[in-house]
Structure 1
Amino acid sequence: MPVKKYGVWKAKPVSYIFQKNGKTPHLELKFSDGQSGQALAAINIKSGTKNQSQLVYWSDEDFKHPIVNQLEDLDTGFTLLQGTDEQKLGGLALDYIRGNLFQRQNGKILSHNIPGPNNDIIDSLQPIVDKSISRKATIYLYGSRFDNGNGNKGIHEVHINQGNTDPYQNENGVFQDGGFILHFNDHWEAVFIGFASQAIHTEDGPLDPGFPIPREDFLTWKDFLDPVITDIEVQESPVVISQALVNPPGPDNQPESNPETVSLKNRTAKAVDLSRWKIRNKDGQFEELRSDSTLSAKGSKVFEVPFCPLSNQGGLITLLNEQGLRVHGVSYTKAQVMQGGGVVSFNL
């Protein structure tokens, strides 16, 4: 069952408190869209999952992603995304697994209320929220809208909404994740929150979209980001996208045009067989790599992508293995294409 009334709310943050007690403590953020008084964003700071209460947290203080151009054009207030064409690759809806919003390995597993400085989710969220209020940033809150009819309205489910098992599997879906993005005068920032118990790979659909892959004994964010298991991240992402030639010199779409390319790098000490792997763009088009494609140990190779056009206006590039699971993904903006003379390099 999809998240009800899923959408994005464009507003100004006003004030907040941390509700630290109870089964599911929250950051309660009051915001105003200038239309009908203040509303409330209930943002989880602790998981309600039994035996695993930790969250996984990503923040980006210099968020560069093509979605920001779409956000800036939104009218102030709530925009419903559920059931619209925005719930797809390249649309306005968030998807932590398919949208290439962040680099997975940059996440942190955090508890909600540990004594001492800089060691829990509250310590991480508070300076970001303080700055957004003091500098009058515009906030874009993603989640499920609620309104109980007596003036208590707002948004909740401001976190990843896929990869769940019982009792939360009914909330699973794709392109319906929560989070919040901030627009300051000179830059963008973003915060994405999930639960450590959720799966890092989920079904695309149409059958059981957002359900864990595999259904049992799946890899969780807790597993993936566990500092004790030092090689798990490389096992999941043995090959990464290091560079893309998005806008080659010369005319576009002509027989004599230079091809667009994607450069892949092998991070391991063993050769990697790329047979049936795919490179996918923001529109879901893909280039399937040849059956004899191999990357040598620690090697790099440039692949032409004639069936996977890369937009000069900004886009996504995702590498999928032979099972269709995401190995690595990046995003880029129009500004990055222009600054690099058509070439975009990605920090690994």
Structure 2
Amino acid sequence: MPIANYSILKGRVKDRKRATAQSAHFQILIEDAQGVQYRVAVNAKSKVAPSEVLYFFSDNYTHEILDKIAQAKLPTGLTAVPSKPNGLALDFVRRNLFDTAQMQPLPLEVPGEDNDLNDKLDLYIQRAMNNPDAELYAFGEPWGPETKLDQYFAFLPGRGIHDIHMNQGNVGQFVAQDGIWQDGGILIHFTSTNRWVALFLAFQSQSFHTDENGHAITKVPGGPQPVPEMADLHLIAALVKPQAGKPERVYILNASPNAIDLAGYELVDKANRREPLSGVVPAGEVFVYALNGQRVVLSNDGGSISLLDPTGLKVAGVSYTQNQVSQTGRLVVF
């Protein structure tokens, strides 16, 4: 079954322990405003080959999810989050949180500096630990409270959150944990400068193309659909806030040397509304699609746009923030 009680843990970083070969989780000690302590267990090695974990880190992150978090004014501690679109839930496939093609594999620990996952995590977590205005948000599955001391930081009762990684597109025994709108991750907010850091992890065995149950979409049974090396269609701009009486528009570039028929393709917005496309995009040209306002709607509060091919695979995905659509009539360029 999908992970239980999907939640966000908010608090301040008090300590950390690097992962080891014997304990392949990077451990983070978090404390809420009431002094209650929690442990965040971050996978630093995969149980399914290849063992190196994929990572995407950004130390100046922008995305519409940050607007949602600010509006929610979450208390410290654990907050349950519905696994559905247009809320606080993370989904690597549907929310366009980042370009998954930019994820890189890293080993848990190798000699040298800043060249393994331990080093990368330690850099950001220590920065938060040493900054009194830093707030950490961990997305995943909570556990506890337990009747025993925490085995890493010795607080009582033991409790915390894990599955701080992509939680869909799995293989083998982990397919049972698949689900959508339940991915893990870490966001760190440095409040005095209003700067955000994002830490996202996935396993190389997972697929970035999943169905509505979070299962990998495959061409060959048992094998996850690989991410295309290069997509021919790109979402390059959108008119999210048009002048009165004008339609919202999406701009699609065909980068291939051949015309592409859009029959069977769909646009998807942040609320998972879908709109079928039609028309032909000539080679090397931009197709401007005017939305009719009956299906896909581009929210002025920030949102995402995905382009699915006729088989349901996402070939392009972008996001935009509320601040990017503050001016009427201005294109958002991706």
TM-score by shorter chain over 0.5: yes
With over 3 angstroms needed to count, the CA separation of the structure-2 counterparts of 1:219 and 1:38, relative to structure 1, is same
- 1:116-174 superposed Cα distances (whole Å, 9 cap, x missing partner): 23322122222111222222311110011111233111111111111112221221111
1:146 to 143, 146, 149: 143
1:198 to 196, 206, 216: 206
With over 3 angstroms needed to count, the CA separation of the structure-2 counterparts of 1:278 and 1:6, relative to structure 1, is same
Number of positions where the alignment pairs a residue of Structure 1 with one of Structure 2: 316
Which residue number in structure 2 is paired with residue 254 of structure 1? none
Q: Structure 2: which 5+ runs fail to align?
A: 149-156
Which residue number in structure 1 is paired with residue 102 of structure 2? 106
Task: Give, in angstroms, the shift of residue 112 of structure 1.
Answer: 1.1
Q: Structure 1: which 5+ runs fail to align?
A: 225-231, 251-256
Q: Does 1:210 align with 2:206?
A: no
- 1:100-128 superposed Cα distances (whole Å, 9 cap, x missing partner): 10012211111111222332212222211
Which residue number in structure 2 is paired with residue 129 of structure 1? 125
In 2: Cα distance, 1:142 partner to 1:18 partner: 19
In 2: Cα distance, 1:165 partner to 1:117 partner: 33
Of 327-336 and 269-278, more deviation after overlay is shown by 269-278
Which residue number in structure 2 is paired with residue 233 of structure 1? 229
- 1:166-202 superposed Cα distances (whole Å, 9 cap, x missing partner): 2212211111111111111222221110101111211
Task: Give, in angstroms, the shift of residue 268 of structure 1.
Answer: 2.3
In 2: Cα distance, 1:238 partner to 1:89 partner: 27
Which residue number in structure 1 is paired with residue 77 of structure 2? 77
The 5 A counterparts of 1:1-348 are: 1-22=1-22, 25-49=24-48, 51-72=49-70, 73-81=73-81, 86-136=82-132, 137-147=134-144, 148-150=146-148, 151-185=157-191, 186-204=194-212, 209-214=213-218, 215-220=221-226, 224=227, 232-234=228-230, 237-250=231-244, 257-290=245-278, 293-306=279-292, 307-338=295-326, 342-346=330-334
With over 3 angstroms needed to count, the CA separation of the structure-2 counterparts of 1:340 and 1:179, relative to structure 1, is farther
Q: The residue matched to 1:302 in structure 2 has which SS?
A: strand
- 1:47-81 superposed Cα distances (whole Å, 9 cap, x missing partner): 111x3211111112222222212223212211112
Task: Give, in angstroms, the shift of residue 36 of structure 1.
Answer: 4.4
In 1: Cα distance, 2:130 partner to 2:172 partner: 40
With over 3 angstroms needed to count, the CA separation of the structure-2 counterparts of 1:130 and 1:341, relative to structure 1, is farther
Task: Give, in angstroms, the shift of residue 270 of structure 1.
Answer: 2.5
Task: Give, in angstroms, the shift of residue 269 of structure 1.
Answer: 2.5
Is the 2:18–2:122 contact (alpha carbons within 8 Å) kept by the matching residues of 1?
no
Paired residue type of 2:195: H
Is the 2:140–2:162 contact (alpha carbons within 8 Å) kept by the matching residues of 1?
yes
Q: The residue matched to 2:323 in structure 1 has which SS?
A: helix
Task: Give, in angstroms, the shift of residue 341 of structure 1.
Answer: 5.2
Runs of 4+ displaced beyond 6 Å = none
Of 157-166 and 31-40, more deviation after overlay is shown by 31-40
In 1: Cα distance, 2:280 partner to 2:108 partner: 44
Is the 2:243–2:328 contact (alpha carbons within 8 Å) kept by the matching residues of 1?
no
Which residue number in structure 1 is paired with residue 154 of structure 2? none
With over 3 angstroms needed to count, the CA separation of the structure-2 counterparts of 1:115 and 1:271, relative to structure 1, is farther
TM-score (norm 2): 0.90
Task: Give, in angstroms, the shift of residue 339 of structure 1.
Answer: 5.7
In 2: Cα distance, 1:263 partner to 1:301 partner: 6
Task: Give, in angstroms, the shift of residue 213 of structure 1.
Answer: 1.1
In 2: Cα distance, 1:167 partner to 1:330 partner: 32
CA-based RMSD:
1.7
TM-score (norm 1): 0.86
In 2: Cα distance, 1:36 partner to 1:132 partner: 17
Task: Give, in angstroms, the shift of residue 2 of structure 1.
Answer: 1.3
